Amino acid sequence: MDKEKTKDRIRFIQEFLKAKGFGLQFVCSLDNLAYLTGVRPLAIERLTLLSIPQEGKPHLIVPKLSEQEFLHLSSLFDLLVWEDGQDPVVLVQGELKRLSPGLPLAADRGTPGYLILALAKNLPLGLILFNEDSIKPLRQIKSREEVELLKASGAIADEVLKEVREFAKPGMSELEVASLMITEIMRRGAVADPSIPIVASGSHSAVPHHQTGPRKLQVGEPLLIDFGCVFQGYHSDVTRTFFLGEPSEEFQRVYQIVKEAQAKALSLIRPGIPLGSLDEAAREHIKKSGYGEYFIHRLGHGLGMEIHEEPYVYSGNSTLAEAGMCFSVEPGIYLPGRFGVRIEDCVVVQEEGPLLLTHFPK
């Protein structure tokens, strides 16, 4: 990642800390660390922590085995390296010396509980606040470079969906389909998100977050595919619902309702519109069509370095869409024990309307 971009992001956080009266910002979330440093630490038990003061050089506390990954950042951060057998909490407690008396510490959601309890021995719990509002505004609005990575990730997902239509056949198990999808993702230089693919056949398609399993695909039933990939740190997310064989009239009717609901929401996307109104538009269409009780989740979630992140698109959310925001639009109808239909695409808000990140036919 460009060092100037890192400097700008750190500068924004420091200005936020001054304005809001926080003395320090602790960053432990792997995604936040990757966003601010360009390095995503391995998800292990060893502590990596970025400590950002109101002024001065941030400190980066890293385990010895990760030191080489961060050495190129030594001009931006002071590296505090700890080895196995040492207690990194001692280093973190040392950071409190940079905290002006009476000012609270902001800790992001990745900060482990054991660390908070240890810090509470030196700092009143009332001055330790779970807060990452200094980071959220940055991550919510994607830069031009981030949008390009999101587009590339979406393009890979589109290509894999084309392969799915070719190789997903009756008699294969959901797990077989998922494993082939993962192979296709990796062949294209990306990795699969660990929580998906969701491959839901038959009545499993009525379970929004079905856990892919050994069930065999069969003729005369739907196949719901929800998946994405991670390309250079940025996710894609897309859902399509197919039918193996000749679809019933009811399936076609439900599919068309969901497709229309998504189109209505997409047509409204522009800077300044409340995010909740997008959910309400799609939900109202499904309700008027007689299936309102079967649309059981929000319309969408943010997308970026995480598969689910801010902003969230749900009824009543008064947050205004801004250019650069990225989120999913994924209405669905789920008839328990029978079948479900969901159609999902992610978009980036632009002045001229939504930029679709996936384009596989619906």
pLDDT, greater one: 42 or 30: 30
Q: Please state at what angle helix 174-187 crosses helix 144-167, rounded to 10 degrees.
A: 140
Is 175 exposed, middle or buried, given 0-12, 13-18 or 19+ CB atoms closer than 10 A?
A: middle
Residue 193: pLDDT band by 50, 70, 90 thresholds? confident
**Phi/psi of residue 211, nearest 5 degrees:** -90, 115
pTM: 0.94
Residue 358 binned pLDDT confidence (cut-offs 50, 70, 90): very high
Question: What one-character DSSP code corresponds to residue 52?
Answer: E
Q: What does the pLDDT read at residue 102?
A: 87
Give all strands of the β-sheet with 59-63 in edge-to-edge order: 78-82, 59-63, 49-53, 24-27, 105-107, 128-130
Examine the pLDDT at 1 and tell me if it is beyond 80: no
Phi-psi region of 38 (alpha: psi -120 to 50; beta: other; left: phi over 0): left
For the stretch 114-155, pLDDT in tens is 999 999 988 998 999 999 999 999 999 999 999 999 999 999
Q: Are 322 and 274 spatial neighbours (Cβ–Cβ below 8 Å)?
A: no
pLDDT digits (tens, 9 = 90+) for 284-321: 999 999 999 999 999 999 999 999 999 999 999 999 99
Q: For the chain, what percentages of helix, strand and coil (3-state, to nearest 5) are there?
A: 40, 25, 35
Confidence of residue 45 (pLDDT cuts 50, 70, 90): confident
At 116, is the secondary structure helix, strand, or coil? Answer: helix
**Are the C-beta atoms of 273 and 321 separated by less than 8 Å?**
yes
What pLDDT, on the 0 to 100 scale, is given for residue 59? 97
Residues 6+ apart with CB under 8 A from 177: 164, 167, 168, 197, 199, 217, 225
Cα–Cα dist 152/235, whole Å: 9
Angle formed by the axes of helices 30-37 and 3-20, to 10°?
Answer: 120
Q: Give the mean pLDDT of the chain.
A: 95
Any idea where the domains of the chain sit in the sequence?
A: 3-139, 141-356
Band of pLDDT at residue 55, cut at 50, 70 and 90: very high
Question: The domain 141-356 belongs to what CATH superfamily?
Answer: Creatinase/methionine aminopeptidase superfamily (3.90.230.10)
**Among residues of the chain, what percentage have pLDDT more than 70?**
100
Quick check: 31 and 306 in contact, CB under 8 A? yes
C-alpha 5/C-alpha 10 separation (Å) is 9
CATH class of 3-139: alpha beta
pLDDT value of residue 196: 74
pLDDT tens by residue, 195-208: 779 999 999 999 99
Mean pLDDT in residue range 330-358:
97
| Topology alike, domains 3-139 and 141-356 | no
Q: Quick check: bond before 88 cis, omega within 30?
A: no
Query: Can you give the pLDDT at residue 278?
Result: 98
pLDDT at residue 44 in the model = 79
Structure tokens given for 341? 């239909």
- How does 339-354 read in b/e, with b if 16+ C-beta sit within 10 Å? bbbbbbbbbbbeeeeb
Q: Which residues contact 108 (CB under 8 A, 6 or more apart)?
A: 25, 26, 27, 28, 29, 32, 130, 131, 132, 135
pLDDT for 101 equals 84
